[in-house]
Amino acid sequence: MMMNQPQQQDRIFGGNLETLGLQATLKTLALGGKTGQLSVAATHDAVDGRPTHERLDIYLKKGSIVALHSSDPGHIDLLEILRLMRRIHRKDAQEIHERVGNHLPYVLAALMERNIISQAEMQQRMEFAIIQEIARAMRWEHGTFEFQNQVSVADSTMVPLSVDHVLLEAIRMVDEWNRVGSGISRYSTPRWLPDINGDVQNLNLSREEVSVLLLSNGQLPIYAIAYGLLMSEAMVAHAVETLVNYQLVEVVDDQLERQLELSLSNALTVSQNQLKHDARLTPEQRLQMLIHTMGTCINKLLSHHLTYARALRSNTMTQAETYMHLEMAFLPLLRSVQREYPIVEAVKFENGQLEYHELMELYKLVRGEQLEAFYWEAAQAFHKLMHATFQMIITDEIGPTRASRRFNALWNTFAQEIDGEMERQRVRRIAGNPHRTA
């Protein structure tokens, strides 16, 4: 590491980022020619609403930046990047990896030893990594900072960086990100589509877009591609958007996909637990249980979508606006089912949930074969609505990507049990009355 921590530290000053931002703090330290450690800590919400804690330690020597440490450094496989760019052979990459691992400073030193990169490129990459992290921290809206001057900073192979230069480049990166669409982030990962139509050479791609395409192997997020090409993350994001429009790549977000899969899995597990296999249930009770299971599933899917719908991930809408957004997506599905199955006309959509209490209490009004017929019609309606709701959600949240296959497989595992129960009820009804149309 680039610094040595003594037994005692003197805190010179600190505060909140809302009061004195990172830019102003760094300028103050630079003007004072300070030596020490500036620590910036932030807490913000992830897409699922859970708090995320991050910390950045910036080391200064006589007012210049000489090192930086992040509590959550993004993994960058520079050896794989250079291999994809045909700057290093696979054998050399493996040898370096076996010797120094993936720790970026060690990888850079090993690459320079083998004359794969120059001293100038090593300096450029170390500088780019620092600017990239500071640009990311400048977008933190809430957090604290403190400066400790009793921290001795060791000499570095990197030429110290001017704070003004670093801030100028970081501000430019932040401004560029503000012009990127909301559907893509620094963690988004472009991945080549399996079937590319036409000749890529006829698409008039820019040199930057071709470079990004070469690195879109589904393993490198945008921030890693940016580091590999020494290109701002926003420029990479723009290139990815172009490649998506040309249907050359798809965009995945591994972190988001894991959260989506866990949330959907939890929703389906709760619904599945409603499905009871009790031989003592009457046909009417069994159909009622089946309707309740599917109703629970629909409501769990809707609750999930309130968090993960593309338009709602920014958390900038009011509760009323989020319900309205969900209503615009779901209500056409409900209305279509109600036109086909009049028995569910009394079912309502309120506060983001399906309200079917009256349907569940039909047994208080009718009995026998008529009740069973009503419940069977309602079960068919809920079965169709449940499948349509899932498809609406997966189309919006995931889109036509490879990941959608995994989510469809997760859904099919749950839906097969529901579909099987629906088929058993259909067969039972026909067996009980051969002239009846199920």
Cα angle 423, 333, 437 (rounded to 5 degrees) comes to 30
Q: What's the confidence (pLDDT) of residue 159?
A: 93
Burial of 2 (0-12, 13-18, 19+ CB in 10 A): middle
**Is residue 180 assigned to a domain?**
no
Same domain assignment for residues 385 and 264: yes
| 8-12, 92-96, 364-368: the lowest-pLDDT one | 8-12
pLDDT surpasses 90 at 333: yes
Cα gap 271→267, rounded to integer Å: 6
Q: What's the confidence (pLDDT) of residue 337?
A: 95
Same domain assignment for residues 290 and 413: yes
What is the pLDDT of the chain when averaged over all its residues? 84
Q: Which DSSP symbol is given to 396?
A: H
Cα gap 159→304, rounded to integer Å: 50
Cα gap 211→201, rounded to integer Å: 13
**Is residue 437 assigned to a domain?**
no
Range of the domain at 209: 189-252
Q: Last residue of a domain, which of 145, 175, 205?
A: 175
Cα gap 269→261, rounded to integer Å: 12
Q: What's the confidence (pLDDT) of residue 315?
A: 60
Q: Which DSSP symbol is given to 311?
A: G
Q: Please state, in angstroms and as integers, the Cα–Cα distance from residue 54 to each residue in 49, 175, 240, following that order.
A: 15, 22, 27
**Is residue 438 assigned to a domain?**
no
Q: Last residue of a domain, which of 131, 152, 175?
A: 175
**Is residue 184 assigned to a domain?**
no
**Is residue 182 assigned to a domain?**
no
Same domain assignment for residues 240 and 385: no
pLDDT surpasses 50 at 194: yes
Same domain assignment for residues 82 and 132: yes
Q: What is the DSSP string of 71-93?
A: SSPPP--HHHHHHHTTSS-HHHH
Query: What would the mean pLDDT of 229-251 be, rounded to a whole number?
Result: 90
Q: What's the confidence (pLDDT) of residue 356?
A: 93
Query: What would the mean pLDDT of 41-70 be, rounded to a whole number?
Result: 80
Same domain assignment for residues 265 and 403: yes
**Is residue 98 assigned to a domain?**
yes
Q: Last residue of a domain, which of 175, 199, 223?
A: 175
Same domain assignment for residues 142 and 204: no
Residue 355 has phi, psi (to 5 degrees) of: -105, 110
Give 348's strand partners. 355
Tens digit of pLDDT for each residue in 352-367? 899 999 999 888 888 8
Cα gap 182→331, rounded to integer Å: 25
Same domain assignment for residues 145 and 38: yes
Cα gap 323→126, rounded to integer Å: 47
**Is residue 183 assigned to a domain?**
no
Confidence category of residue 6, pLDDT binned at 50, 70, 90: very low
Cα gap 304→269, rounded to integer Å: 13
Q: Please state, in angstroms and as integers, the Cα–Cα distance from residue 78 to each residue in 75, 112, 166, 272, following that order.
A: 9, 13, 22, 45
Same domain assignment for residues 272 and 224: no
Same domain assignment for residues 73 and 161: yes
Q: Is the dihedral of CA 342, 344, 345, 349 positive or negative?
A: negative
Q: What's the confidence (pLDDT) of residue 131?
A: 95
Residue 229: give its domain's CATH number: 1.10.10
How far does CA 185 lie from the centroid of its chain?
8
Cα gap 128→56, rounded to integer Å: 16
Question: pLDDT > 90: what percent of the chain?
Answer: 43
Query: Coil, strand or helix: which one is 197?
Result: coil
Query: What would the mean pLDDT of 181-201 be, rounded to a whole number?
Result: 74
Confidence category of residue 147, pLDDT binned at 50, 70, 90: very high
Same domain assignment for residues 38 and 165: yes
Tens digit of pLDDT for each residue in 248-305? 888 876 666 777 778 878 877 877 776 766 667 788 888 998 999 999 999 988 988 8
Q: How many domains does the chain have?
A: 3
Cα gap 334→103, rounded to integer Å: 54
Same domain assignment for residues 40 and 108: yes
Same domain assignment for residues 64 and 134: yes
